[in-house]
Amino acid sequence: MQPRRQSFIAVPTDPCSGSLPALAMADFSLRPRLGFKGAGTADWLAAQGLSLPPEPNQSVKDDQGRLIARLSWGEFLLLGDFAALQSAWSFETAPLCFPLPRLHSHAWIVISGDAAPKMMAKICGVDLRAHKFAQGRIAQTSVARLNAIVIADRIRGRLGFHLLSDISTSQYLWDCLCDAMLEFDGAPVVLEALAKESHGQTDAQG
């Protein structure tokens, strides 16, 4: 966690109060996530008991609230605590499936609020309104001129997005999002404020 961002998001939002700003944003970058890629990835993940999205650029949640995102026919991004899955993988058991540790490559920012699509329209060329970009849809696109993955989700019962981008430019992206959300009465919040329903996560790994 970068010190500047850590101090910036330490706003006085009580995660137990249920009160959120009209547009809220939290840094989930210390939460677990990982990826797998290869011709045999879908078959191996299915054999581990995961229900997979049928096509690329779709995501589904499992019964623990963890997010399974299919980026291509053979590449998956898993948001949540998949430690058991990570331990089960080996070259012997999954020769055509290769792990892609994402904890140190991709920052993870979560945005929640019905104005989120309008805010994102200021910095992203994809139409993210709910009737065009339904829950579970994925866009691999540009956000604030950075390559990013945007996943539509319901977060704390509101429209929202998971945003993943190169961690080396995450402070720049965070600042751009903070600037874009000002006109919508948006504010950063502690991650617990948006993590109540999320992903069965414990400690970061991957």
pLDDT at position 11 over 50: no
Percentage of the chain modeled with pLDDT above 90: 72
User: Are residues 38 and 25 both part of a single domain?
Assistant: no
Point out the domain boundary residue: 83, 101, 119: 101
Point out the domain boundary residue: 85, 101, 117: 101
3 state SS of 71: strand
Look up residue 55 and give its two tokens. Answer: 């096509």
Query: Average pLDDT, stretch 142-151?
Result: 97
User: Are residues 118 and 175 both part of a single domain?
Assistant: yes
Average pLDDT, the chain: 87
User: Are residues 15 and 117 both part of a single domain?
Assistant: yes
pLDDT reported for residue 7: 33
Looking at residue 166, which CATH number applies to its domain?
3.30.1360.120
189 lies in a domain? yes
pLDDT reported for residue 171: 94
User: Residue 128: which domain range?
Assistant: 3-31+103-193
Give this prediction's pTM. 0.87
Number of domains in the chain: 2
170 lies in a domain? yes
Give residue for tokens 């995961």.
50
Looking at residue 74, which CATH number applies to its domain?
3.30.70
Query: Average pLDDT, stretch 172-195?
Result: 92
Give residue for tokens 């879908």.
42
CA distance 140 to 165: 10
User: Are residues 153 and 62 both part of a single domain?
Assistant: no
Point out the domain boundary residue: 101, 135, 150: 101
pLDDT at position 180 over 90: yes
pLDDT at position 16 over 80: no
86 lies in a domain? yes
Nearest Cα to 50, choosing from 84, 96, 93, 13?
A: 84
Query: Average pLDDT, stretch 189-198?
Result: 76
Lowest mean pLDDT among 70-79, 144-153, 155-164, 188-197: 188-197
User: Are residues 25 and 96 both part of a single domain?
Assistant: no
Query: Average pLDDT, stretch 124-147?
Result: 97
200 lies in a domain? no
pLDDT at position 100 over 70: yes
